[in-house]
Amino acid sequence: MPDVLPENSVGLVTPQLYHFDEPLPLRSGKELKAYDLMVETYGELNAERSNAILICHALSGDHHAAGYHSMDDRKPGWWDVAIGPGKPIDTNHFFVVCLNNLGGCAGSTGPASMNPDTGTWYGPDFPVVTVRDWVNSQARLADRLGIDKWAAVIGGSLGGMQVMRWSISYPERVRHAIMMAVAPKLSAQNIAFNEVARQSITADPDFHAGRYREHNTLPKRGVMLARMVGHITYLSDSAMREKFGKASEQLKQASLNLGRDLRAGKLSFGFDVDFQVESYLHYQGERFSETFDANTYLLMTKALDYFDPSVDYDGDLSKAFANSDCRFMLVSFSTDWRFPPERTREIVTALLKAGKQVSYLDIEADQGHDAFLLPVPRYMQALTTYLDRVKLEISSHAA
């Protein structure tokens, strides 16, 4: 809760709901007859409409990427470190758009919305949406906002997958595709973690086959477990040692620090929480379970599992990029074991094979997968330098 808003903040923002009546055909073969998208924008669209940047959110993100909704907010939007006046994604120069994706639970149409056909919640009847479906819906939002071509589309993790899909499905509408901590598709290990998360949710007795709202309850226990598992995969071993190994002076030496700080200073010799890491995961999981919809979590993990743009091109990702007309910038983080640097390099190699203009940075960072959301200095510097160049491009086009 800021007493005064920081100068480099986009300040107080109000999300806007956009309604779409034209049915959206989905990859599954189903369609959404009508839907709403919850959207936030920062900065001003210029007269040429050439300075718009789309931010794509990851698994648990939403449209609230920067600024505050009220002076009582505990925290700003999820990527406030990068978006604002004078920040890498500089709202003095760019018009920044971020939306809650379809199937989400932060205002866009999703399982927690009312199904007009039944008069009750969609719940488990909400169709499985894919990255491709999201990007199609984002393209319609761009039409509505009068944006023919994005100066850049930017995203990390599942957000990066949307960026990749933009460059393939709408090559004429993207100038720069910037992706962080991303993979061309999930590995068996990635899918396995997602399945554990899904099982945690569906096995919760309060899940009621996804119709928990009809039963006046929420499967909080399941969502909490899903988040705990997910959270472990976002952190690196070194980040956890650092975070949970502060108690003892002798442990200052990194190699000795295993992050085993106790919660109450002594072992309980029971099965309750003994270590800080346990209580942290409980806390994070519980908080998440109070706000995040269980059915949305299931949908988001499926969108991750299904993502594979090479599927239409005999498994050859470079062919998928054949028509892409943007410049690419990819960033990986050294301790990310969810999507490690090798996985990002697979995309770089495919782009090189396709003869595209691509830059790639391999950033040393201790924070694991989460690093893409954090103000890692080298990463912020590269983003700033890259986007400064995009600013120049826009102003020379306008001239």
Partner 1 sequence: MRPDLDIIQKWIEPGSRVLDLGCGDGALLAYLRDRKQIHGIGLEIDNQKINGCLDKGISVIQQDLNKGLQNFESQSFDTVLLTQTLQAVHFPDKLVDEMLRIGKNCIVTFPNFGNWKSRAYLAFKGRMPVSDFMPYEWFDTPNIHFCTVKDFDEFCRSRDIDVITRTVVDIKHRDSWIIRAFPNLLSEIAIYHFSRKPAKSEAA
Question: Which positions are catalytic?
Answer: 157, 336, 369
Q: Is 265 exposed, middle or buried (0-12, 13-18, 19+ CB in 10 A)?
A: exposed
Q: Residue 362, interface with partner 1 (CB under 8 A)?
A: yes
* Tokens representing residue 240 in the block: 């956890």
Q: Residue 371, interface with partner 1 (CB under 8 A)?
A: no
Cα separation of 110 and 123, whole Å?
8
What number of chain residues touch partner 1 (CB under 8 A)? 22
Q: Residue 323, interface with partner 1 (CB under 8 A)?
A: no
Q: Is 338 helix (H, G, I), strand (E, B) or coil?
A: coil
Q: Residue 322, interface with partner 1 (CB under 8 A)?
A: no
Report the residue from 46, 284, 349, 395 that binds partner 1 according to the rule CB under 8 A.
Answer: 349
Question: What does R_g of the chain's alpha carbons equal in angstroms?
Answer: 21
Q: Residue 337, interface with partner 1 (CB under 8 A)?
A: no
Q: Residue 386, interface with partner 1 (CB under 8 A)?
A: yes
Report the residue from 208, 345, 380, 395 that binds partner 1 according to the rule CB under 8 A.
Answer: 345
Cα separation of 26 and 21, whole Å?
15
Q: Residue 120, interface with partner 1 (CB under 8 A)?
A: no
Cα separation of 328 and 351, whole Å?
8
Minimum Å gap between C-beta 360 and partner 1 is 5
Q: Residue 353, interface with partner 1 (CB under 8 A)?
A: yes
- The string over 228-252, giving b where at least 16 C-beta atoms fall within 10 Å of a residue's C-beta and e elsewhere, is bbbbebbbbebbbbbebbeeeeebe
Q: Which is nearer to partner 1, 44 or 388 (CB)?
A: 388
Q: Residue 369, interface with partner 1 (CB under 8 A)?
A: no
DSSP symbol at 275:
B
Q: Which is nearer to partner 1, 124 or 171 (CB)?
A: 171
Beta strands 120-121 and 152-156 are unpaired
Would you say 331 and 179 are in contact if contact means Cβ atoms under 8 Å apart?
Answer: yes
Minimum Å gap between C-beta 187 and partner 1 is 19
Q: Which parts of this chain interact with partner 1 (CB under 8 A)?
A: 327, 345, 348-349, 352-353, 355, 357-362, 378, 381-382, 385-386, 388-389, 392-393
